[in-house]
Structure 1
């Protein structure tokens, strides 16, 4: 099923990719602020606040998002402590969007799109549209929030200017980055992020555990005794961490496109790139059936043919319209973005053909721009910057030697992304100069009190290129959840409303708390 192109673009944006390994904000241990049995008195003013709902238009960060920030959607700002260990100190403002229920209201359904760095406000609009043929928007207020550091929330993370992004200078977040990275580069980058984002304390306050605390404040502010939550991709990490911290505060939870909580950063990155190579190979095999396929008619040589097209872009970018050029990182980024959904394979093939035959890159740079949402006016949202910062607050760190080994392993696993350049001397962990150490404590969500956690639902797509099917099985086991298998080739499915079979089980669980039967499956 094909969707409206803007909807495809935004969904690709908000799901995003877990890329570089990094670390978590301070104050993530099991302290009073993370207890689900009591709220510290110092947090009463946050838990007891009232939201003032109004016009959404001021909350849109780019022209691409603006058409969705209109009535009947309502928006508000919620105040939270920047650091929960210092609730009397500096605060953050969280942007929230809702579509009020149209029928017999059960409560609020809070959604998260992934990334990390994706806009939950935009996702509330997209999910409401995607699920319009189900009873979910009738029974629930559909609610999304921009996690701290993201989109309309303030302080927002900004590391690069729009001009730098247009030139492809945001190397630290590029999947195919060829460097060079030096200690000075990573140190200066962190300082630039701090300068543009409200200081080092703002950088240190965007970890997943901080967002989970915000989500519990949101639950209370929405008037819900217990939270109903649907998260996809990185949103499955957020949901699992919330379940770990606030197991008594959940009514129902659906996690779609799961991250395995037990996998370390390096292992997960290899698995991620194995999925991308698999999807690239499937796309190339479909292309090879066409006489004019830019990757040739022999699927076994498609990676080699792709390298011949893209590696020259390292030193000789091609024009891409609007005064911009398409370089290697933007070309590979555009292809990766298209690989999220099999319905976008024809667009990838056409874009590669343009580079090969016309020596132009408008089509591939458009796919790359969609990953981080660049408006037609040249304004980018901060998805990629926030992705970098959140990962720096969550993920494990590596020495330069470990990073070089990992990069070598990544390119062996996913050779279509290999720039063909040495990795020694140009490989560094982009988070090595981050102001706080990692403290998500991977593996996470391993000691959840299942006696008080409601039985949850995990959805996993067999051909998901980003969060593999086996990760869904593992997360379901960790949570004691019921698993829905979806046969298909795409990353996540439930909130898009693409499949009647998925829609029915998704809605039945959220509305009636009826879980799928053992071995339940759907086919796209």
Structure 2
């Protein structure tokens, strides 16, 4: 392993860390010297007001941009800038901790603000960053204009499975990628995968003045952390990987994701059934059926909500997002109760908040580079059939055995990653955190990740995605904070209950 190593990684909804990405190669002495300008640059911290999303950050948060090559194999070529943010430690400073919230494509700048105000910010400068191609980082991946989004972006949950419906979605996917190429160029579209983001992360470590990286990654952030650890094992000080998503290949990953969503929905349904006027039933098979009975009329007759409209896809988007944390379950219940009376305000309001959480344009680009692709319609149909079998609550019953090719099938550059088993020596102890009922990250995948990393696993008995500093569990938070500050890992097998 060496500093110039380039790991290759593999990877629908903001997801998915057991099998990790690729081989690591060593650059020449010449390439090391060529990268020196990036590793030795001096950044200038200042106000975040000129950064996309910066106006939402507290005045004490500082922002800067880090120069990086678009293609690390061509350090003298085109460059970009990665936006970073920092909230300085309140107390006796240990160093900087870099945080990634997941997605890929979730906003990173605000994590300095939100996590910096928790116990984490007592001893650490908390640093957030926007992935290359997203947010305040430049150049930004551009695909559709606002006016084009309505016509070229298919619904997240397809309902027309007729041959013409499949053809329409596939044509829209192809047109979408064509627009990406036209507006972003193939060089950028081919260099926004996790392989490059891990390289950016090491440059960030260097310009922060840290000899070794202290890192916290949630969901996709766990994949990124694992990739970094494989590429730069000697540069890791401490690393917490929370709610990592599986990386067994794109088809297996999607099926596991759908199965995890079904598990979360079943848990919600059992909880809901204990209350009066629950709109679904506690029996999992009945609950899924009752849900679709409520939602299916939206396929032919969406519900007007003022000048807006609640579609089937919008309702499902709202429900899936609400399953990520028990705090959202009341939204599902009240939204479905309202739907029974022919109104869709609650579900539509919830659905419209989801696109702002993750930059789906960047998410698509990362997944298309990190994963092997499905380029055969028969394979796409078989994948879809397995997904519906894993999550009956998402099956509208209209699937006819045909499915469109997705956007990645038309991506203009080849994948930069392939699934493989994580294997690296020289790493310090790391910590893996996982919830048993995580809606997006199967618990057994995190068990495998901890085993492959030879690191302790903290288990949280709960149904949510993201645990450390997000669950209110002192049982989880205290040992992780102690590990980050003192480098003393917790005992393996720690089991924590919800507060």
Between the aligned partners of 1:112 and 1:465, the Cα distance in structure 2 is 19
Offset of residue 76 of structure 1 = 0.6
Residues 73-127 of structure 1, C-alpha deviations (whole Å, 9 max, x = no match)? 1001111001111111111111101101122211110000011111221222222
Distance 1:328 1:38, change over 3 A: farther
Q: State the match for 2:311 in structure 1.
A: 327
2:180 to 174, 179, 193: 193
8 Å Cα contact 1:168/1:329 also seen in 2: no
Between the aligned partners of 1:215 and 1:505, the Cα distance in structure 2 is 25
Offset of residue 382 of structure 1 = 6.2
1:155 match: secondary structure: coil
Q: State the match for 1:448 in structure 2.
A: 424
Offset of residue 16 of structure 1 = 5.6
Q: State the match for 1:315 in structure 2.
A: 300
2:129 to 135, 145, 165: 145
Offset of residue 256 of structure 1 = 0.4
Between the aligned partners of 1:164 and 1:56, the Cα distance in structure 2 is 30
The answer to whether residue 381 in structure 2 is matched with residue 404 in structure 1 is yes
Q: State the match for 1:256 in structure 2.
A: 242
Distance 1:464 1:223, change over 3 A: same
The answer to whether residue 40 in structure 2 is matched with residue 48 in structure 1 is yes
Unaligned runs of 5+ in 2: 1-11
For 1:14-25, what aligned pairs fall within 5 Å after superposition? 17-18=14-15
1:119 match: secondary structure: coil
Q: State the match for 1:12 in structure 2.
A: none
Tell me the TM-score normalized by structure 1. 0.86
Distance 1:299 1:85, change over 3 A: closer
The answer to whether residue 379 in structure 2 is matched with residue 395 in structure 1 is no
Tell me the TM-score normalized by structure 2. 0.90
Distance 1:272 1:298, change over 3 A: closer
Q: State the match for 1:10 in structure 2.
A: none
Offset of residue 499 of structure 1 = 1.5
2:489 to 494, 497, 515: 515
2:135 match: secondary structure: coil
Distance 1:168 1:412, change over 3 A: farther
8 Å Cα contact 1:392/1:438 also seen in 2: yes
Aligned pairs, number: 477
The answer to whether residue 410 in structure 2 is matched with residue 433 in structure 1 is yes
For 1:174-323, what aligned pairs fall within 5 Å after superposition? 174-175=156-157, 178=160, 180-182=165-167, 183-196=170-183, 198-261=184-247, 263-295=248-280, 300-321=285-306, 323=307
Offset of residue 163 of structure 1 = 4.8
Offset of residue 495 of structure 1 = 3.7
1:365 to 348, 369, 373: 348
Distance 1:103 1:354, change over 3 A: same
1:485 match: secondary structure: strand
The answer to whether residue 413 in structure 2 is matched with residue 421 in structure 1 is no
Residues 264-317 of structure 1, C-alpha deviations (whole Å, 9 max, x = no match)? 111111111111111112212222233422225766422112111212222221
Q: State the match for 1:3 in structure 2.
A: none
Residues 412-454 of structure 1, C-alpha deviations (whole Å, 9 max, x = no match)? 111111132235443213211101122211125x2212xx111
Larger RCO (CA under 8 A, 6+ residues apart): 1
Unaligned runs of 5+ in 1: 1-14, 374-380
Q: State the match for 2:4 in structure 1.
A: none
Offset of residue 159 of structure 1 = 2.9
8 Å Cα contact 1:318/1:325 also seen in 2: yes
The answer to whether residue 59 in structure 2 is matched with residue 71 in structure 1 is yes
2:331 to 326, 347, 351: 347
Runs (4 or more) in structure 1 with deviation over 6 Å come to none
Distance 1:382 1:463, change over 3 A: closer
8 Å Cα contact 1:32/1:39 also seen in 2: no
Distance 1:382 1:501, change over 3 A: closer
For 1:449-488, what aligned pairs fall within 5 Å after superposition? 449=425, 452-488=426-462
2:444 match: secondary structure: helix
Q: Is the deviation greater in 492-501 or in 206-215?
A: 492-501
Distance 1:265 1:353, change over 3 A: same
Residues 37-73 of structure 1, C-alpha deviations (whole Å, 9 max, x = no match)? 9971111111111111111122234xxx743x23111
Residues 107-155 of structure 1, C-alpha deviations (whole Å, 9 max, x = no match)? 11000001111122122222223x2xx2x31211000110111211112
2:410 match: secondary structure: coil
1:111 match: secondary structure: strand
1:393 match: secondary structure: helix
8 Å Cα contact 2:385/2:401 also seen in 1: no
Between the aligned partners of 1:315 and 1:324, the Cα distance in structure 2 is 16
